[in-house]
Structure 1
Amino acid sequence: MQKLEILSDAAKYDASCASSNTTKRNSVGGKGIGSTTGSGICHSYAPDGRCISLLKILLTNFCSYDCIFCINRSSSNVTRARFSVEEVVDLTLNFYKRNYIEGLFLSSGIIRSPDYTMAEMVRVAQMLRELHDFRGYIHLKLIPSASPDLVAQAGLYADRVSVNVELPSEASLKRFAPEKQSRDISAAMGSLKLRIDESKAERAVSRKAPAFSPAGQSTQLIVGADDASDAVILQRSAQLYGSFGLKRVYYSAFSPIPDASAQLPLSDPPLMREHRLYQADWLTRFYGFEIGEILDDSSGHMLDLTVDPKLAWALRHRSRFPVDVNRADRETLLRVPGLGTRSVKSILEMRRFRRLRLDDVARLARSLRVLRNFILAEDWRPGALLDSERLRLHLAPKSQQLALL
């Protein structure tokens, strides 16, 4: 229990552990143990909104690396612990049988060597899959400099694998994590993409072909440890999505650690910054926005913390609104603050049969508070249009309105 307390707490800084898009396996019919589709005590949410519960731990928080931003760095004065492979397997199975978890997220500090550590993590996944027929979700955090054979084995046992980029620029990585090499990280992620693509092609021909990391790969960027702007972070994310076919880039707000280096900030960045980065990430991936639109010259390359990025864009382009929900195309509707992808799909389907009134839109959208200022409907036209600054003040959360005055 002491080990579990230490090593689960040490894993809390890693955000990249969602389990969406994995292969659906379950123990229906009395075969195997576990499931990737059940529900239990939820620790995180998948991008599709499904609740998931994971045992999220480190194999060990001993580490030979001395990354300045990491609480488990070799020079850190923290209590250390280490699980054996068998202990992690037993914990996973026992927690699952008690309906505490749906799967395992396993990372580790680097001990002895990258290959030794990676081999121990692979043994955990191998024992769960082959010895205990565990069919729940497994996410393994890979070590970039580990041998390709070990990485290949990890992908065969895990639903998702990930390699943390950590910082948005190579200069920052050299400064804060001198033992980590940007080229090793890129090479590992590129190799994973090739193997994942090859596996998909093989399984398209034969479903008996082995799956390799069927839920893809993800990574994490630390926000606020260096001076990178939001524009730089989002540009780096776009490059990662395009080059390596990532399922997700996770943003983790830097959290001050004990005995921190003077090179690190004394305080953590506002959590709202992390939230705004996720919103901007979503806009570029699913709403057709370019980074240069979300963060243009007038924004100063930092996201507005008082309003969400789509609303901030709409306020800067007030002349494009209001939009007629009965006539606008999908791309235009997706840029309307207050309309999501599902709402837009429902609007396009419903208006084939009738002209939409404001009440119809209200049933399809989550809220009219923001939306009504940017749309036209059969029975609705906004009154006197407020200028952008007055409307921004009106729509900002009440807790932040005083800060805008």
Structure 2
Amino acid sequence: MVQERVMEKLAILADAAKYDVSCSSGQSTRKNKNKGLGDTGGGICHAFTEDGRCVSLLKILLTNHCIFDCAYCVSRKSNDIKRAAFTVQEVVDLTIGFYRRNYIEGLFLSSGIFDNADYTMERLVRIVKKLRLEENFNGYIHLKAIPGASEELLKEAGLYADRLSVNVEMPTEQSLKLLAPDKNHKDVIKPMQYLKNEIIGYQEEKKTNYKTPLFAPAGQSTQMVIGATKENDLEILGMANYFYEQMKMRRVYYSGYVPISHDNRLPAIGTPVPMIRENRLYQADWLIRYYGFNVNEIVGFDQPNLDLDIDPKLGWALRNLHQFPVDINTADLEMIQRIPGIGFLGAKKIVAARTFKKLQPDDLKKLGISYSRSKYFLAFSSPFYLQKDLTPLQIKNQILNLQNSKYKNNFSNQLALF
């Protein structure tokens, strides 16, 4: 009977947790010791649902009871749903039991707010402490930090969890006030700032004292709900860039709003945010973090939203054809990385290969470069470059036609297997 009740709770609280997308692992290096359980190594394996959401961890809420009434949240206090709450020991037992069965490689734990921030945070901390100290569990743990919790509890959480995250929830203060009037951005920014300082402090201390304990070795992350309010992509990416620069975030996650309420402040039921918008935001985010792009190069006041038809790098290239064609035999690494069809690793391969010979189109194909896409932006001293006089619209249409043709061929090949 007890086991049945726990499994009923699991069904409720795992389902409630599915709207939180920020559950991928980070670069944690917590080592197994004293013959304990688990080892983060370089991270954990991932699985994804058909709609692209990460489900790689045991991903649950401690409770879906909540004192807040955020219009966009399925666990809001006014919502007529079945409520449940785990005990501290139940979460510990589930994590260890699932790990021993090889179902999971780590834990993602969030929660609604029971009575206040400290009351809830204290229970989350007790869970991770029990896993680390009593069960000797060294697997990956991602813990949600509760805005408004004391710094003492946040510090304890950082000593036992691999990653901490405080959800900013809405891209702007105005939207948060509209949909969650009891909350404000200051309560989110304050713990982020504290965690940033603690992470940096422990890292510096570790350089001079190897016995310094780990503190949130996978850093911190946050999540924004997009599409519940009318912010454009310029505002969303601007906020993300602030978190990367000022809070030293490892990741900002973008969660497309899923209609769950008839509240007139929200989009109508039946009009979810297109998954392609999430995808484009992640692509733009990647360009900012790894490719050296500035937010205003990707979106701007004249074009505040990302093009849903094409990826952000191609969009930038088409708006800046005056910077092309690029000679990959002489261009620097940063410029090569900006060429559509050439990725981060592909650019490094090109720079390494050109030290041995002058590269031509066939060489790029051998390196695994998408020449059919990149050829519009490349210059060679050969007859292969024939696209000099094409307009941005012509290039865009040719690339889209090529993509559609590949999709149709792949679909036909899959049908042929049945």
Please give the range of the TM-score, normalised by the shorter of the 2 chains: over 0.9
Checking the alignment, whether the CA contact within 8 Å between 1:53 and 1:100 is kept in structure 2 is no
Q: In the aligned structure 2, how far is the partner of 1:375 from the partner of 1:364?
A: 15
Equivalence for 2:61: 58
Q: In the aligned structure 1, how far is the partner of 2:287 from the partner of 2:370?
A: 19
Q: In the aligned structure 1, how far is the partner of 2:405 from the partner of 2:246?
A: 40
The CA deviation string for residues 88-132 of structure 1, in whole angstroms up to 9 with x for no partner, is 111111111111111000000000221111111111100000001
Give the alignment's TM-score, normalised by structure 1.
0.92
Q: In the aligned structure 2, how far is the partner of 1:37 from the partner of 1:374?
A: 40
- Helix, strand or coil: the match of 2:107? strand
Structural mapping, 1:381-392, within 5 Å: 381-385=384-388, 386-392=390-396
* 2:121 aligns with one of 118, 123, 130: 118
Equivalence for 2:252: 249
1:103 is aligned to 2:106: yes
Checking the alignment, whether the CA contact within 8 Å between 1:40 and 1:100 is kept in structure 2 is no
Residues 41 and 317 of structure 1: CA distance in aligned 2, closer, same or farther (over 3 Å): closer
Q: In the aligned structure 1, how far is the partner of 2:220 from the partner of 2:43?
A: 23
Checking the alignment, whether the CA contact within 8 Å between 1:63 and 1:72 is kept in structure 2 is yes
- Helix, strand or coil: the match of 1:139? strand
Structure 2, gaps ≥5 residues long: 1-6, 408-418
1:25 is aligned to 2:31: yes
Checking the alignment, whether the CA contact within 8 Å between 1:26 and 1:35 is kept in structure 2 is yes
* 2:353 aligns with one of 342, 350, 353: 350
Equivalence for 2:21: 15
Q: In the aligned structure 2, how far is the partner of 1:353 from the partner of 1:268?
A: 52
Residues 147 and 250 of structure 1: CA distance in aligned 2, closer, same or farther (over 3 Å): same
1:384 CA drift (Å): 3.8
Equivalence for 1:261: 263
Question: Which shifted more, 30-39 or 97-106?
Answer: 30-39
Equivalence for 1:211: 214
1:137 is aligned to 2:143: no
Structural mapping, 1:129-278, within 5 Å: 129-257=132-260, 259-266=261-268, 267-278=271-282
1:80 CA drift (Å): 1.1
Give the alignment's TM-score, normalised by structure 2.
0.89
The CA deviation string for residues 182-238 of structure 1, in whole angstroms up to 9 with x for no partner, is 111111100001110111011111121111101100000111011100000001111
1:84 CA drift (Å): 0.9
1:361 CA drift (Å): 1.1
1:314 CA drift (Å): 0.8
Equivalence for 2:288: 284
Checking the alignment, whether the CA contact within 8 Å between 1:57 and 1:106 is kept in structure 2 is yes
The CA deviation string for residues 281-328 of structure 1, in whole angstroms up to 9 with x for no partner, is 1111111211111113442x0000000001011111223222111111
- Helix, strand or coil: the match of 1:312? helix
Task: Report the number of matched residues.
Answer: 392
Checking the alignment, whether the CA contact within 8 Å between 2:170 and 2:225 is kept in structure 1 is yes
Q: In the aligned structure 2, how far is the partner of 1:353 from the partner of 1:31?
A: 49
1:52 CA drift (Å): 8.5
Q: In the aligned structure 1, how far is the partner of 2:122 from the partner of 2:30?
A: 26
Question: Which shifted more, 303-312 or 15-24?
Answer: 15-24
AA in 2 matched with 1:102: E
Question: Which shifted more, 287-296 or 126-135?
Answer: 287-296
Equivalence for 1:395: 399
Q: Percent identity?
A: 47
1:2 is aligned to 2:5: no
* 1:295 aligns with one of 285, 292, 299: 299
Residues 177 and 52 of structure 1: CA distance in aligned 2, closer, same or farther (over 3 Å): closer
Residues 282 and 205 of structure 1: CA distance in aligned 2, closer, same or farther (over 3 Å): same
Residues 380 and 212 of structure 1: CA distance in aligned 2, closer, same or farther (over 3 Å): farther
1:366 CA drift (Å): 4.3
Q: In the aligned structure 1, how far is the partner of 2:134 from the partner of 2:63?
A: 23
- Helix, strand or coil: the match of 1:127? helix
Question: Which shifted more, 280-289 or 102-111?
Answer: 280-289
Q: In the aligned structure 2, how far is the partner of 1:131 from the partner of 1:187?
A: 31
Structure 1, gaps ≥5 residues long: 46-50
- Helix, strand or coil: the match of 1:249? strand
Equivalence for 1:68: 71
Q: In the aligned structure 2, how far is the partner of 1:366 from the partner of 1:351?
A: 14
Checking the alignment, whether the CA contact within 8 Å between 1:33 and 1:135 is kept in structure 2 is yes
Checking the alignment, whether the CA contact within 8 Å between 1:220 and 1:251 is kept in structure 2 is yes
Q: In the aligned structure 1, how far is the partner of 2:92 from the partner of 2:211?
A: 27
Q: In the aligned structure 2, how far is the partner of 1:213 from the partner of 1:84?
A: 24
- Helix, strand or coil: the match of 1:323? coil
AA in 1 matched with 2:267: P
Checking the alignment, whether the CA contact within 8 Å between 2:32 and 2:39 is kept in structure 1 is yes
Checking the alignment, whether the CA contact within 8 Å between 1:330 and 1:348 is kept in structure 2 is yes
The CA deviation string for residues 313-371 of structure 1, in whole angstroms up to 9 with x for no partner, is 11112232221111111121111001111111111111111111212211324422211
Q: In the aligned structure 1, how far is the partner of 2:286 from the partner of 2:85?
A: 37
1:53 CA drift (Å): 2.8
Q: In the aligned structure 2, how far is the partner of 1:378 from the partner of 1:105?
A: 54
Checking the alignment, whether the CA contact within 8 Å between 2:27 and 2:43 is kept in structure 1 is no
1:381 CA drift (Å): 3.4
Checking the alignment, whether the CA contact within 8 Å between 1:220 and 1:250 is kept in structure 2 is yes
Q: In the aligned structure 1, how far is the partner of 2:48 from the partner of 2:118?
A: 30
Residues 41 and 98 of structure 1: CA distance in aligned 2, closer, same or farther (over 3 Å): farther
